[in-house]
Structure 1
Amino acid sequence: MDSAIRLHNLTVNFDDRFALTDINWTLEPQQHWVITGTNGSGKSALAAVLAGVGKLEKGEVTGLPTSVGLVSFEAQAELIAKELKKDDADIMDVISLGTPVEEMIFDDCADPALARSLVEKFGLTGLLDRAFRKLSTGETRKVMLIRALSSKPDLLILDEPFDGLDANTLAMLQAHLASIIDTTPMVLVLNRFDEMPDFITHVAYMNAGTLPLTTDKQDDTAFNELYQLLHLKTTDLSVPDADASNALPALDPNQPLVKLNAATIKYGDTVIVDALDWTIEPREHWQLSGPNGSGKTGVLSLITGDHPQCYSNDIFVFGFQRGNGESIWQIKQFIGYVSTSLQWEYRVSTSCRNVIISGFYDSIGMYSKSTDNQKKIADQWLALLGMTDRADSPFNKLSYGDQRLLLIARAMVKHPPLLILDEPCLGLDDMNRQLVLALIEKICQGKTTTVLYVNHHAEDQIQGIQHYMALKKNHA
């Protein structure tokens, strides 16, 4: 590969089954990439574009090499399907035996000596006379790897190349790939970070058909954040249980958490929110969006009881009719709240573990002795966040994004019926924004807490949130 490959504003359709959208990506000569992301994110589709697959609908691709070696499950399935079609030959009273392995490997082979060496290393010598379609899935995979490696490609694309290989074969393949890094640029598609070869120089992260993040592997901070993101996205860990000894009072499951009846916020003659009807049922996740000045924070304040006009409105919250004698703390015990202003206030130098534990006491910092069970739950949250190794690190020494993650865990530790996340991504870069959104998705998968996610943009959607309220600015 003598020149860079550039994908500019690229939208590609794959038989209306899947689409990549607005892809911008540059691969320089001598770079070796891993494409990663969750299942269904578009990793294989992006790799396939480099092999000329897909219908280009917008943008452009430049610099694609003429010789590309591709190994993928899709290419493997297509090859086997072609072989099975040869069964149609029995119409002419000919029984097709299929193409033998030797022919599949050595016909049009650019480097027969390398192919023979790899056949021996892969343990396929005794299978050269066998029909390709009679091989096991793993054996078929090995044949495709040999074909690609011995084709002297200008670009080598390997989609999950290590799947199904035994330990010896895996080590042999990784050693061979390492031996050709000076002559052959590579793009690997991997689900697992622990399989990433040492020679990889860059990482591309796919999400829902888009390419939101690319990073140089030598950038330790960015690479560790990406590792943490993939941990959050793919971990089997779920939201830790609450502390049974510190349980919140039970709510009536048949009553809504919040009900606003024609709620209005106005200052003099200026109406900020006009006759808003809104009901939030238990475990019904909502996104509240709208521009600055549309009243998002005011509506939140009506719910939490912090707005002076909450008593002049018809508001029902957690079984309480506003203005009937309830205290603000009777309401707030059922709410977890995270905002940028809270992060500004949380300037103490306590440990990461203690930040989470402080959520049991609704305090900024720790002023009570924690129980063993509270420490255990906090450690479970740290494991979910991929931050176990930072349990005793000072909170104020963490990155802005990691602080935000910990404050969300702090708000969730009691499993409040309602978790309000007020612009939780404000001030975060793309990577930390992805981390926060991944944690919110994880919380939405739980069974106990309703999420109210507040942001500017209605299109910035989170998997698991099914209900949307968009406020409009009612004044100049």
Structure 2
Amino acid sequence: MNNTTSFGSKIHLNNLTVNFDERFQLDNIDWVITPNQHWMITGTNGAGKSALVAVLAGYGDIISGNLNGTPKRVGLVSFEAQAELIAQELKKDDADIMDVISEGTPVHEMIYNDCADKSLAESLVEKFGLTELLDRAFRKLSTGESRKVMLIRALSSKPDLLILDEPFDGLDAEMHSLLQAHLEALSNTTQMLVVLNRFDERPSFITDIAYVEDGSLSHQIQVSDKAAYEALYQLLHLKTTELEIPPVDKESALPALDPEQPLVRLTDTSIKYDETVIFSDLNWTIKPNEHWQLSGPNGSGKTGLLALITGDHPQCYVNDIFVFGFKRGSGESIWQIKQFIGYVSTALQWEYRVSTNLRNVIISGFYDSIGLYSNSSDRQKQIANEWLALLGMSDRADQPFNKLSYGDQRLLLIARAMVKHPPLLILDEPCLGLDDMNRQLVLALIEKICAGSETSVLYVNHHPEDKIKGIENYLSLDK
């Protein structure tokens, strides 16, 4: 964007809560749009992207908060507005009398009536290939054709604010390029908000990005902030990718467990140090394919409880503990237990200091090693590449692990722990030390694992209210 004059309004949504016919609600939106800014609004399906921009076009019932600065002339193109216009046309049949059926409003009236720039409208009609359809009833157009009419109406209305909700959907490659070029030219004089699911469709003039999740505006970043932009792109990739959890390597597959037996069963379990009791009389069973969240304040015994399961706590032999088909203290080795566990913790991340590339970090999970010291098979490399694709890191496969951001390292270590498809994946405070964006990335990956694998996830954190989609079992330890 190379404009030399200021344009657009300062629009302020202050702690705004908006209801949409009791179907959806935006909650506590704080958003300031300043002159010369062009925003891209993104997020997962159903997150509230369309609702957020519709508020600026006058839709929704404001429950609380304030909306200030909205300009008088707002141009809106959205599927909802398109459907509303078609519904209005169909209602004309109901209003007809004497059995005279209305043909509906012709396209030329839809475009040219109340048109602020007829010359522009005529030019766009020709470019969009609608000349032959000007006399046809609007309601008889195809979805793509009526979409083009909506675009022409909005673009030729000379709006102070132009809101485009998925403007490229349904357009062929030629029309896509034409619209991109027109918007690029328009960006020097008109403020725009563009709702998009696909990052690769982001127009070059976009200055800022808003990420919407569950009716809330969770992230606002500047496109010029490269690190934040890449993290948001990766988050959206994890939230929306259709890739499944990569499969197990059959040659590295773990021994089969009895599906009728629990993975873990603790009976009247306790941890005591002299006269200090950390917890006692704890009964807990983790069944195959169950996901659990373990919470509790510092000192409540979360880490000790995990160590009883993994066999790293000396009191595991004085408690009644059954894990992966073994009763602890019956002659099993610690490695017979640990082969069935994937483990991620801050301590592991501190220990993983070897200089190796991202692909090898994931492959090292097949060998439970820090670093890779064995020759990997072609199949293991392929699976590692599939994990990198899931994480949106394919283009960084050969980069060194120690050059990654803290959050990306955590994602790689979760993939490393999952690569052998362990029956139990223990994530000990996986978000500790992460900023909000990287926290969202990690939680998105955990949700993906819960939804797409046969691994039981044990997610450990301080806050029982910090719930993850897919985890429905909770154990809270009190101090």
For the pair 1:365 / 2:371, whether they are aligned, the reply is: yes
Q: Is the 8 A contact 1:71 1:157 kept in 2?
A: yes
**C-alpha separation between the residues in 1 aligned to 2:64 and 2:259?**
50
Q: Secondary structure at the match of 1:117?
A: helix
- Asked if 1:86 corresponds to 2:92, the answer is yes
Matches within 5 A, 1:8-27: 8-27=14-33
Name the SS for the 2:268 alignment partner.
strand
TM-score, with structure 1 as normaliser: 0.96
Q: Indicate the residue corresponding to 2:12 in structure 1.
A: 6
Residue 95 of structure 1 is matched in structure 2 by 101
What SS does the corresponding residue of 1:445 show, helix, strand or coil?
Answer: helix
Instruction: Give me the whole-angstrom Cα distance separating, in 2, the residues matched to 1:250 and 1:191.
Output: 41
Q: Which residue of 1 aligns with 2:45?
A: 39
Cα deviation for residue 165 of structure 1 reads: 1.0
Determine the structure 1 residue equivalent to 2:3. none
Kindly report which structure 2 residues correspond to 1:395-410, keeping only aligned pairs within 5 A, or say none. 395-410=401-416
- Give percent identity, aligned residues only: 74
Secondary structure at 2:452's aligned position in 1? coil
From 408, 411, 414, the equivalent of 2:417 is 411
Q: Deviations over 1:178-225 (max 9, x none)?
A: 111121110111111111111111111122222211211111111112
Q: Secondary structure at the match of 2:96?
A: helix
CA contact (8 A) 1:351 1:391 kept: yes
- Choose which of 170, 176, 190 in structure 2 pairs with 1:170: 176
Please point out which of 415, 435, 439 is paired with 2:441: 435
- Residue 367 of structure 1 deviates from its aligned partner by 2.0
- Check the 8 A contact 1:89/1:95 in 2, yes or no: no
Q: 2 CA distance for matches of 1:105 and 1:228?
A: 40
Work out which of the residue numbers 108, 111, 121 in structure 2 matches 1:115.
121
What code does the residue aligned with 1:438 have? Answer: A
1:291 Cα offset (Å) = 2.1
Is the aligned partner of 1:384 residue 2:427?
Answer: no
8 A Cα contact 2:209 2:221, kept in partner:
yes
Alignment correspondent of 1:333: 339
Mapping of residues 29-428 of structure 1, within 5 Å: 29-428=35-434
Kept in 1, the 8 Å contact 2:8–2:190? The answer is no
Q: Assess if the C-alpha contact under 8 Å between 1:4 and 1:26 holds in 2.
A: yes
Give the superposition deviation at 1:2. 4.6
> Residue 232 of structure 1 aligns to which amino acid in structure 2?
L
C-alpha deviations, 1:292-315, integer Å up to 9, x for none?
222221221121122222222222
Q: Distance in 1 between matches of 2:359 and 2:105?
A: 61
Q: Cα RMSD (Å) of the superposition?
A: 1.5
- Asked if structure 1 preserves the Cα contact closer than 8 Å seen for 2:365 and 2:419, the reply is yes
CA distance in 1, matches of 2:80, 2:58: 14
Structure 1 residue 425, shift from structure 2 partner: 0.8
- Deviation string, structure 1 residues 427-455 (Cα, Å, up to 9, x no partner): 11111111111211121122321111111
For residues 139 and 430 of structure 1, the distance between their equivalents in structure 2, rounded to whole angstroms, comes to 42
Instruction: Tell me, in whole angstroms, the C-alpha distance in 2 between the residues paired with 1:10 and 1:37.
Output: 19
Report how far residue 4 of structure 1 moved.
1.6
The amino acid that maps onto 1:47 is V
Contact 1:72 1:158 in 2 (8 A): yes
C-alpha separation between the residues in 1 aligned to 2:106 and 2:377?
A: 68
Post-superposition CA distance 1:442-474 (Å, at most 9, x none)? 21122321111111222222222222222222x
Task: State the AA in 1 paired with 2:381.
Answer: K
**Counterpart of 2:116 in 1: which secondary structure?**
coil
Provide the C-alpha distance between the structure 2 equivalents of 1:275 and 1:370, rounded to a whole number of angstroms: 45
Number of paired residues?
473
Gaps of 5+ in 1: none
In 2, are the aligned partners of 1:335 and 1:416 still within 8 Å (CA)? yes
Contact 1:89 1:96 in 2 (8 A): no
Amino acid across the alignment from 2:233? Y
